[in-house]
Chains A and B, each alone.
Chain A
Amino acid sequence: MTDGRARPDPPMAMDFEGAGDGRTNALALLLLSMADDEFVIGFSDSEWTGIGPILEEDVAISSIAQDELGHARALYTLLSELVADGRDADAIAYDRPPEGYLHARLLDHPRGDWAATIVRRYLYDTADAARLDALVDSSYRPLAELVAKIRREERYHLMHMETWLDRLATSPGEPRERLLAALADMAPDAGTVLAPLPGEQALVRHGIIGEPFEAIEARWRKGVGRTFQRLGLPDLAATRDPGRARADHGDAFRALHAEFTMVRRSEVGATW
Chain B
Amino acid sequence: MGPRRDPRGAAGGGVTESQPADRAADVKGSDGRTLEPWEVFRQEKDGDPMRHGGSVMAPDATLALHYAREMYSRRQESVHLWVVRRADIHDLADLDLLQPPLDRSFKKPGGYVMRDKLAAAREQSGQAKPKANAGER
Could you list which residues of chain A lie within 8 angstroms of chain B, going by C-beta atoms?
Answer: 54-57, 59-60, 63, 156, 159-160, 163, 167, 171
Cβ–Cβ < 8 Å partners of A54 in chain B: 35, 57
CB-CB under 8 A for A163 and B66, given A56-B57, A56-B71, A63-B74: yes
Shortest beta-carbon distance, B70 to chain A, in Å?
Answer: 5
Cβ–Cβ < 8 Å partners of A56 in chain B: 56-58, 63, 67, 70-71
| B74 & A159 in contact (Cβ 8 Å cutoff) | no
Of chain A, the residue at the smallest CB distance from B63 is A163
Give residues of chain B (34-69) contacting chain A, Cβ–Cβ below 8 Å: 35, 56-59, 62-63, 66-67, 69
CB-CB under 8 A for A163 and B62, given A54-B57, A55-B57, A56-B57: yes
In the bound assembly, the distance between CA atoms of A156 and B66 in angstroms comes to: 8
- State which of B59, B63, B70 has its C-beta within 8 Å of the C-beta of A59: B70
Shortest beta-carbon distance, A112 to chain B, in Å?
Answer: 21
Interface membership of B1, Cβ < 8 A: yes
Of chain A, the residue at the smallest CB distance from B62 is A163
CB-CB under 8 A for A160 and B57, given A63-B74, A171-B33: no
Could you list which residues of chain B lie within 8 angstroms of chain A, going by C-beta atoms?
Answer: 1, 33, 35, 56-59, 62-63, 66-67, 69-71, 74
| B66 & A59 in contact (Cβ 8 Å cutoff) | no
In the bound assembly, the distance between CA atoms of A54 and B74 in angstroms comes to: 18
Of chain A, the residue at the smallest CB distance from B67 is A56
In the bound assembly, the distance between CA atoms of A160 and B62 in angstroms comes to: 9
Cβ–Cβ < 8 Å partners of B35 in chain A: 54
The 9 closest A-B pairs by CB, nearest first: A56-B67, A60-B70, A59-B70, A56-B56, A163-B62, A160-B66, A63-B70, A56-B57, A63-B74
Shortest beta-carbon distance, B19 to chain A, in Å?
Answer: 22
Cβ–Cβ < 8 Å partners of A167 in chain B: 59
Q: Which of B35, B59, B74 has the most CB of A within 10 A?
A: B74
CB-CB under 8 A for A60 and B67, given A55-B57, A163-B62: yes
Shortest beta-carbon distance, B8 to chain A, in Å?
Answer: 25
Shortest beta-carbon distance, A268 to chain B, in Å?
Answer: 34
Of chain A, the residue at the smallest CB distance from B1 is A159
A54-B57, A56-B56, A163-B63 are known contacts; what are 18 more A-B pairs with Cβ within 8 Å? Answer: A54-B35, A55-B57, A56-B57, A56-B58, A56-B63, A56-B71, A59-B67, A59-B70, A59-B71, A60-B66, A60-B70, A63-B74, A156-B69, A159-B66, A163-B62, A163-B66, A167-B59, A171-B33
Shortest beta-carbon distance, A63 to chain B, in Å?
Answer: 6
Of chain B, the residue at the smallest CB distance from A171 is B33
Cβ–Cβ < 8 Å partners of B63 in chain A: 56, 163
Shortest beta-carbon distance, B98 to chain A, in Å?
Answer: 33
Of chain A, the residue at the smallest CB distance from B32 is A167
In the bound assembly, the distance between CA atoms of A167 and B33 in angstroms comes to: 9
Of chain B, the residue at the smallest CB distance from A170 is B32
Cβ–Cβ < 8 Å partners of A63 in chain B: 70, 74
Cβ–Cβ < 8 Å partners of B67 in chain A: 56-57, 59-60
Of chain A, the residue at the smallest CB distance from B56 is A56
